[in-house]
Structure 1
Amino acid sequence: MDLKVLFNDLIRFETELWNAVDARLRAEVGLPLGNFDVMRVVRRVTPCRVHDIARELSITVGGTSKAVDRIEALGHCERRANPEDRRSSVIVLTPAGERLLADATGVFESELDTRLGSVLSARALRDFAGALAKLRAAGDDERLV
């Protein structure tokens, strides 16, 4: 197995998948995939801080803060004082953000089913997910060194 070819295929597939999902989300609900990703973390992690989003998405805290600012400016989330730590804030979705995320989730799942679920068997998807999890865990271990 030529790992360089595998690397190129993996990166190109990720880019093509991101672009396809992003284009469909923008067209059908007016929401970029980057904002959708952040909003999904905000809904899932409670309480949610900028640091939590950055960790979940493997992006910088500065980039995350700017993304939250953009989403907040659109009225889809808001920062509230953190009752456990006055130096930070927690991020929550607004009712409009909740509705948008619900609509976008259906579009997101449909596009993933089209691009992944309809192409690979359930077993192949489980194997692929397991391999990715193993690779990501190995990368986490290396960052600790």
Structure 2
Amino acid sequence: MWSQQRIQLPAMERGFHLITDRVVEALPDLARCRVGMLHLQLLHTSASLTLNENADPDVRHDMDAFLRRLVPGDLPYFRHTLEGPDDMPAHVIASLLGTQLTLAVHDGRLALGTWQGIWLGEHRNHGGPRRLIATLNGEE
């Protein structure tokens, strides 16, 4: 079976956001998939997708704090500044973390570890709504 859905996420503040439930809710065919793969592709270059801690929100805070220090907005050698001082750092972080995830599906559910969840990394101060394409492939 093949299934593809577009997922629209609302604008979120800068930082990391747990979106696992939103993704699962947008995939009605997931429950029918006995074994398969889900590919998620974020259709933006200044945000990211990653798989990480789903329980303690301090982990999301700490990851954002670390990345803001690693890639600050005031680096003098950045030339791409027309869209604001947060844009080029957002592109760098999105490239470091990536904009795609491929996840196993088992018995109609994402095969995630106990403490794993899908994060959207919003790396702009005002990034706006974000779009994903979710492609599910597997056997019923």
Report TM bin, short chain: under 0.3
> Which structure has more RCO (C-alpha within 8 Å, separation ≥ 6)?
2
Indicate the structure with greater strand content: 2
More helix by share: 1
Q: Name which one, 1 or 2, has greater alpha-carbon Rg.
A: 1
